[in-house]
Amino acid sequence: MKNIAFFLCLLYSVIGLSQIKDTMPTLEDEYFLVKDNDSLMIALNEVVLLPKHKFASRVDARYYFWFKKKVFKAYPYALLASKRLDSLNVRLDKISSKSKKRKYVKKVQKYLEEELTGQLKKLTRTEGRLLLKLIHRQTGKTAFQNIKELRSGWKAFWYNSSANVFKLSLKSEYDPANVNEDYLTEDVLQRAFMDETLEYQKSKLQFDHLAILYNRKGEVNVEEYKSMFAKQRKKQARKKRRKQKNGK
């Protein structure tokens, strides 16, 4: 029964409710200060400078900031998932009775459903996809792996089948070194951690985030989102033409 409450609540909401279409974007080191032959030691925080963004156009910049909002929307839920899993592990390990464990899990599940369902209903498909990837980043396991370990392979299969209907996958992995969307996500996260606009939590995955960002030298590729909205505009145009034709 360990840990299933949060994930079942979270994944049910993401799979069944993230159907909203996306709208187009309108360490410390010691340093020395020497003055008049005297040395004064002062402690300064280490400053990490990330590559300056390279946007091909203003349109690309607009899409990047649109994407940034999506990451900011999804990350807190992944952070919460990681914290809840850790705390559930600690508390359930202290409970010896299986019946008491079940009662505790049910209590947590009820609380999470009341607190999160209304918020998760507002996630768009892009935000839902990012959330599944960020769960992998923060917990070290994909949503599919968590369900398979906590419930069964059969349950994981059916949850994933339901997710596929909405073009989501519980097997989504976070790979910022090779996947453009994950690189963009990591870029947003690292800059937000530096600015302290998002709460920092170390990823349970092993990768060198700074090396990944430096290797791309500030490159920003948002072509997949431009293409996504181009298709959306074409569909809207076809619907409009059909309505006009039927109205004549």
Instruction: In whole angstroms, give the CA distance from residue 244 to residue 150.
Output: 53
| Residue 66: half-sphere exposure toward Cβ, Cα within 13 Å | 19
88 three-class SS = helix
pLDDT value for 27: 40
57 three-class SS = coil
Q: Which residue has the higher pLDDT, 165 or 206?
A: 206
Domain ranges of the chain: 4-232
Q: Is 172 exposed, middle or buried (0-12, 13-18, 19+ CB in 10 A)?
A: buried
Contact 84/6 with Cβ under 8 angstroms?
yes
Contact 128/19 with Cβ under 8 angstroms?
no
Contact 213/190 with Cβ under 8 angstroms?
yes
> Which range among 146-150, 187-191, 238-242 has the greatest average pLDDT?
187-191
Q: Are strands 38-45 and 28-35 parallel, antiparallel or unpaired?
A: antiparallel
Distances in Å between the Cα of 244 and the Cα atoms of 63, 92, 219, 236, 241 are 31, 61, 43, 12, 5
The reported pTM is 0.75
Helix %, strand %, coil % of the chain (to 5): 65, 10, 30
Tens digits of residue pLDDT in 176-210: 999 999 999 999 999 999 999 999 999 999 999 99
Instruction: In whole angstroms, give the CA distance from residue 136 to residue 132.
Output: 7
Tens digits of residue pLDDT in 77-115: 889 888 877 777 777 778 888 787 767 766 666 665 666
